[in-house]
């Protein structure tokens, strides 16, 4: 015959093990969910390799209403698509830091770039890039000119560039700069000279 107090102790120990188990399982699930959510929120892009290069970025400075060349060390892959994407991202990274010479909305990013011919490239941006962009002719032109000119300086052979927003065409960036047309990089080069 097992004493009554011993039975109660065993029961309590088993109950404690059961409760602890449930708590541990729920904590594990919550952690997994958070990890998954974080992974989904991040832009879906392959890991970038490549070697570090010293490249030139044409950056917008709102206060001066001008574009200026700045150098930066960026890891650039050999693949032409990835190289173009990382070049554009390095420009946006400058605008997203604090303080920014040309503030853009949080989440502004390049989702993907692809060539539809040897000299024509499509740049697909995140929705935040356009939705949160400050409205104004000058501000919008500075953004696009900065991106296109930096791109052509670091990825040779691009004659035409078109921007998409979240995979779709949009009339304008934030009410002004044209996003329906293909930008001719030669014409943008002339404009960039006016801003420099």
Partner 1 sequence: MRWSKTGAGLAVVALCCALGVSAAAPEQQLTVYTAQTSYSLPVVDHGGKPYIFVTDLLLPLGTSRPTAKEKDWRISVNKTDLRLTAGKDKGTINKQAVDLGGKALLENGRFMVPMDAVLPLLGRLLNTTVDFHQTARRVFVGDTFTRFTVGFKNGDQPALILTFSQPVRASRSHQEKRGVLTHPDTTTLTFTKDPVVSELKTQQYGDGAIQSLSFSEENGTAFVTVSGNKPLQLVQSDDGRTITLQPQAPDVSATPIPTQPGGPSAEGQKRAPEFFVMIDPSHGGNDKGATFGGKLVEKDITLRLAREVRRELEERGIPARLLRESDTDLGLDRRAEITNEQHASVYVALHAGRPGKGVRVYAPLLSDAQQQQTGRFLPWEAAQSGAMSRSQNLARVVSEELKKKGLTVASMAVVLRPLNNITTPAIAVELAPDENDLQSPDNQKRQANVATAIASAIVQVRNQIGARQ
Binding site for partner 1 (CB under 8 A): 62-63, 65, 134-139, 141, 171-172, 175-178, 180-181, 183-184, 186-188, 190-191, 194-195
CB of 168 to partner 1, least distance (A): 11
Three-class SS state of 161: strand
CB of 153 to partner 1, least distance (A): 18
How many Å separate Cα 84 from the centre of its chain?
13
How does DSSP classify residue 59?
Answer: E
CB-nearer residue toward partner 1: 48 or 127: 127
CB of 179 to partner 1, least distance (A): 9
CB-nearer residue toward partner 1: 90 or 150: 150
Between the CA of residue 118 and those of 6, 22, 76, 156, 161, what are the distances in Å? 82, 58, 20, 10, 11
CB-nearer residue toward partner 1: 55 or 67: 67
CB-nearer residue toward partner 1: 25 or 186: 186
Q: Do the bridges between strand 120-125 and strand 160-165 make them parallel or antiparallel, or are there none, so unpaired? A: parallel
Q: How many CA atoms lie within 13 A of 13 on its CB side?
A: 6
Cβ-contact 108, 91 below 8 angstroms: no
Q: How many CA atoms lie within 13 A of 191 on its CB side?
A: 18
Supply 149's token pair: 């000119």
CB of 55 to partner 1, least distance (A): 25
Helix (H) or strand (E) holding 77: none
CB of 178 to partner 1, least distance (A): 5
CB of 96 to partner 1, least distance (A): 19
CB-nearer residue toward partner 1: 55 or 121: 121
How does DSSP classify residue 167?
Answer: T
CB-nearer residue toward partner 1: 26 or 193: 193
């Amino acid at each position: 015959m097992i004493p009554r107090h011993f039975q109660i102790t065993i029961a309590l120990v088993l109950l404690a093990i059961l409760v602890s188990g449930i708590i541990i399982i729920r904590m594990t699930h919550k952690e997994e969910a958070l990890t998954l959510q974080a992974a989904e929120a991040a832009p879906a892009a392959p890991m970038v390799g490549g070697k570090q290069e010293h490249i030139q970025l044409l950056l917008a400075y709102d206060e001066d209403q001008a574009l200026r060349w700045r150098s930066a060390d960026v890891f650039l892959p050999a693949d032409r698509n990835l190289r173009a994407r990382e070049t554009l991202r390095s420009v946006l990274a400058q605008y997203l830091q604090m303080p920014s010479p040309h503030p853009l909305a949080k989440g502004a990013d390049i989702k993907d770039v692809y060539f539809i011919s040897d000299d024509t490239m499509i740049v697909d941006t995140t929705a935040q890039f356009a939705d949160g962009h400050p409205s104004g002719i000058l501000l919008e032109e500075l953004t696009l000119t900065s991106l296109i000119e930096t791109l052509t300086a670091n990825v040779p052979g691009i004659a035409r560039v078109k921007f998409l927003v979240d995979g779709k065409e949009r009339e304008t960036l934030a009410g002004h700069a044209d996003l329906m047309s293909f930008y001719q990089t030669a014409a943008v080069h002339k404009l960039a000279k006016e801003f420099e």
